[in-house]
Amino acid sequence: MFNLEPPKKAAALINQAYQAASQVLRPISRKYDRAEHAYPTELEMFAAVLDGLNSSGEGGAGASGLRGDHGKSTTDGENRNGGNLRTVLGTIEMCWGDVGLLLSMPRQGLGNAAIASVADDEQLKRFAKLWAAMAITEPDCGSDSASITTTATPDGDSYVLNGEKIFVTSGQRADAVVVWATLDRSKGRAAIKSFVVEKGTPGFEVVRLEHKLGIRASDTAVLRFENCRVPRENLLGSPEIDTRTSFAGVMKTFDNTRPLVAAMAVGLARAALEETSRILAEAGITVDYDRPAHHQHAAAAAYLELEADYEASYLLTLESAWMADNRQPNSLPASMAKAKAGRSVVDITLRCVELVGTLGYTEESLLEKWARDAKILDIFEGTQQIQQLIVARRVLGKTSSELK
């Protein structure tokens, strides 16, 4: 049974992540929001600590991915609170500090989560020290990942990649990129595979960096692959094209990373709510949990609505990670968590800006920054609209061709 409280054994991790967020990330949050594309050198000290947490099984800021714990089944009814739940709990705390800075953390990219989730044992060992970004979106391919046009052509002991990727988080700073490409465009979705492409590989070029609304501490790049030769052993998963399961296997990466993005949204929403509560209290407005909302100040009533959305997002996120720990299919809960948390964090941060008036619209508070940071969490790793479509298909039992 899913417990609504964080497991006691995760208390040390939660405290460590909170201390890092409060003592390091939060104090430099505004600095790197203003200095877009400047690398946050203060983060270097965390790389070794987070590596240690991940390798010890304690879970770090996201790189451990979501995969069944040590292949153990829980069919005997045993409840497991494993690395997936710990990773989500750590991510929430770190993003309470700053989302963009978490995304800038060495070896904690979404590409690392993808590798940790689907790589074989040999690949896990070989790529253990790499900082990996993830490259999926293309100029003519956004939410429909099945429309990818970047090609991977077998040639001897290598694959030759050709194509362009956009909006790649940590695309310039990372050591490698997990690239989605098709082995045969005539075979559609089934031919799409993911490849680990290391920086310095001939034919791999960072074209430019994007200027963004939010998460400015994190670099977002456009990448080009022109006759880029990648070793066959850098393909993640099976090289076989199986029209029944291949694309489903690649798409499972999203089941593994969407709870992490939901956790980012939960952490950011909590930060905004706490700051708003503090500002309202200074203005003499307190939230009374023992009185009905309609008997309280209008700002307090609005705050209670936002807090309810936060709690729902938090519980859905923890459930999706808990299900992964307990070897239960989590595709539907992962999409539900991503949809709810992504939408809620945008609503929460914008309404928090409104509730505190001018303080929410100036740089005197971080609320205006958080309102800008929030929107990306409703977009990347599958937009709000796509998440709702996935949920509808699962609930109604429809295929992608039946419900578009």
Residue numbers annotated as active site = 381
Confirm if 23 and 95 have CB atoms less than 8 A apart: no
Instruction: Yes or no: say if 339 and 384 are a contact pair by the CB < 8 Å rule.
Output: yes
The number of residues in the chain equals: 404
Would you say 149 and 138 are in contact if contact means Cβ atoms under 8 Å apart?
A: yes
Q: Which two tokens stand for residue 269?
A: 């929403």
Cα gap 133→44, rounded to integer Å: 17
Q: Which helix (H) or strand (E) holds 151?
A: strand 151-155
List strand residue ranges (DSSP E) for 175-268, in order: 176-182, 192-198, 204-209, 220-231, 235-236
Integer Cα distance of 403 and 394 in angstroms: 10
Angle between the N-to-C axes of helices 246-282 and 298-325, in degrees from 0 to 180, rounded to the nearest 10:
150
